[in-house]
Amino acid sequence: MNIDQELGQKLKAGIKKNEPMSEHTSWQVGGPADYFLSPVDIYELIEIVRFSRKHNLPVYIFGNGTNLLVLDGGIRGLVINIGPAFSYVKNKGKQLTAGAGTPMTFLARKAAEHGLMGIEFAVGIPGTLGGALIMNAGSFGGYIGERVRSVKLVSPVAEVIKLEEKELAFSYRTSNLIGKGIIVEAELDLKEGNSNEALELMDHFLSERKSRHPDLPSAGSVFRNIPDQPAGKIIEEIGCKGMQIGGAEVSCKHANFIVNTGHATAADILALINAVRQKAREEYGLELQPEVKIVGEES
């Protein structure tokens, strides 16, 4: 039995070989994944991790394809999609248990349905809960890490572990969950509130996002903010707003967004990221740090 057959037998959804990541990322760019896998439950996920260890294959965990630049050469090894099979929300009192594949907007709205408040800021965040936890996603002054009670993961050695609140640490755009394993679900502590009030607040946040953010394909904010200095303001001040390389453009609507104007490659986007960073060094002596994850190989 070869590797393809052995792996295929473990997954109800089968495997996709040489799957174009451009079909799965919000920037709509990216080369092929050697193997694109969509486990239907935690048991299949454990089997994949065991398989990767047995065959010494690298693993990349993938959610909704936002906040991510996959390079044109693609990703070697196994790309594991924590998707719809891990999208669920369960309510118990002031606590929600949600799967790592749950879209953040859906999570915020489900909380409101249950009369719970505290994650209205998450509406409009384009990723899923797993990625949001890894990078402590936030908006409008709120951060997901402030609401986390526990996180369940599949460890790198294929064991199911649960990290309690005291074992977790969140800070600006990062957490200590990096390297701990594959997030499966999390428990969130919210507060009792009014559903209509929560929905009104979310409508306001969505309206604000629509007025500020570009409509063309993007991956959200490209650079981390510097304390007291929004990255978008810096990029605008150094004259990079509207800068183009190939099909990639620094958005004229929000300078901390790079958009795909229709024919961009990952190489175009990466070159534009580097050009903006270089200009910030030259003009202000600042080192802008990418907020997006850059993965894969150049072609």
Query: For 54-77, what is each residue's pLDDT tens digit?
Result: 999 999 999 999 999 999 999 999
What's the fold here for domain 3-84?
3.30.43
The architecture of the domain spanning 216-295 is: Alpha-Beta Complex (3.90)
Domain ranges of the chain: 3-84, 86-211, 216-295
Query: For 2-47, what is each residue's pLDDT tens digit?
Result: 888 888 888 888 899 999 999 999 999 999 999 999 999 999 999 9
Query: For 213-263, what is each residue's pLDDT tens digit?
Result: 999 999 999 999 998 889 999 999 999 999 999 999 999 999 999 999 999
Query: For 79-101, what is each residue's pLDDT tens digit?
Result: 999 999 999 999 999 999 999 99
Catalytic residue among 50, 149, 173, 224: 173
Q: If we measure between CA atoms, which residue out of 113, 94, 106 comes closest to residue 198?
A: 113
Does residue 209 carry a catalytic annotation? no
Catalytic residue among 221, 249, 251, 277: 221
Does residue 173 carry a catalytic annotation? yes
Class of domain 86-211: alpha beta
Catalytic residue among 44, 120, 187, 291: 291
Task: Find out whether 8 and 17 touch, Cβ atoms under 8 Å.
Answer: no
Residue ranges in the chain assigned as alpha helix (H) = 3-9, 42-54, 104-113, 129-134, 195-212, 231-237, 266-284
Cα-only R_g, the chain: 20
